[in-house]
Structures are given as C-alpha cells and as structure tokens.
Amino acid sequence: WQPGGVPGSGGRQPRTRGVPGLHPDLRGRPIPGVVGVLVVPPVDDAGQPPVPTAETLRAVADHLTREVAPAGITVVAGPVRFQRIVVEARVALDPGQDRAAVLTRAADAVTRYLDPLVGGENGAGWPFGGAVRHTPLVRRLLAVDGIRAVSGLSLTVDGLRLPACTDHAIGPNDLVWPERPLLIPIGEGAQP
C-alpha cells in the first residue's frame, strides 16, 4: 500500500477512514487505545464490492503505526461494510432520442453517484454513513439528457425492497455498493 494511491488504479484511488475505538472485527463497543482504519481498495471490473487483501490491511496498519500513531495506540485495519443498493425508477423518455442510449446514460449516472470511490455530491466517493436519499437520486436522473420525468423511485437494500420515495440511512462507518439500476420506461418514450 502506498499512501498516495495505487499505481494503475485508473484514477480510482483507495480510501480509508480512521475511527477511534473501533476494532473492525469487534464492532459494537468502543475499545480504548484502538484506532480502526477501514480500507476501501480500488474497484476492479468484477462488479463486486472491493475487499482489501490481508497483505494490504497489514501494510496499512503497519504504515500508520510506524508513521502516524502516538505511542500506546493500536492501529487495526479492516474492510468496510457495504450495503448493496438497487435503484428502481420509472422514467419518461424523450421519444426523439435513442432509448437504449438514454437508459444507459441514466444507469451510469446513478451508479457513478453511489460509487464508494468516485461518487457522492463532490465526486470524492460516497460518504461514510451517507444516507441514500430519494430526492438527489431523482435529480441525478432528471439531469440525464433524454429523461423527461421520473414518476417513481424505490430502493432495494441488501435484497429488501423499501417503500417508494423512501430514504435509507446506513451505519456511520458503512458505505453503499451500487448494483445496476432497474430503469423502467413509461409513456410514449417507452415505445421501441
């Protein structure tokens, strides 16, 4: 692990989050003298949440212990917990545009917005503990050229479908993992 990033990561730099008292293997109660470092490695093309290797976790903990941690502090590195999110939306399309291209752009916009490394409002990665909110997702879809309206949006979190128009809070040290959105064309733009 290099503090400046991972060569060849295609601009998708790893992220870390230090949490006083958190031991990644013993979540639930703070442990005095411990700093947990949650590690998000670069995402590969497998389409799965990134999981750091044991070697990476050791390297991060060793580096921070040696270079940053005060005497008497134990640094423990571990993986981040991800909540898998599927966005389902009914969208009205511009009939003058290529349907497949519009749906692809819209799905890419939602996936990128929820991405743990390049998502969020500022493109620096979805915020740790950042709630998934209905209104910003609708705005993202409406910003896509060719989307005229969003008539309904719901989330499925870790396989559990939430009621439409519902926000979803996540744990303070967790992140979301975007699955490919399900976008359902409605109205005249739904015709091939």
DSSP state of 132: B
- For residue 188, what pLDDT band results from cuts at 50, 70 and 90? low
Structural contact between residues 39 and 62, judged by C-beta atoms closer than 8 angstroms: no
**Between these two residues, 8 and 137, which has the higher pLDDT value?**
137
How many CB atoms neighbour CB 168 within 10 A? Answer: 16
Q: Which helix (H) or strand (E) holds 114?
A: helix 99-114
- The CA R_g of the chain, rounded to the nearest whole Å, is 19
- Residue 6 has a pLDDT of 37
Residue whose tokens read 């979190």: 157
Residue whose tokens read 């992140």: 175
pLDDT digits (tens, 9 = 90+) for 73-92: 999 999 999 999 999 999 99
CA 26 to chain centre: 23
pLDDT digits (tens, 9 = 90+) for 137-177: 999 999 999 999 999 999 999 999 999 999 999 999 999 99
Percent over 90 (pLDDT), the chain: 77
Closest CA to 21 of 93, 86, 73: 73
Estimate the share of the chain in helix, then strand, then coil, as percent rounded to the nearest 5: 20, 30, 50
What is the C-alpha to C-alpha distance for residues 122 and 113, in angstroms, rounded to an integer?
A: 9
User: Which pTM was predicted?
Assistant: 0.85
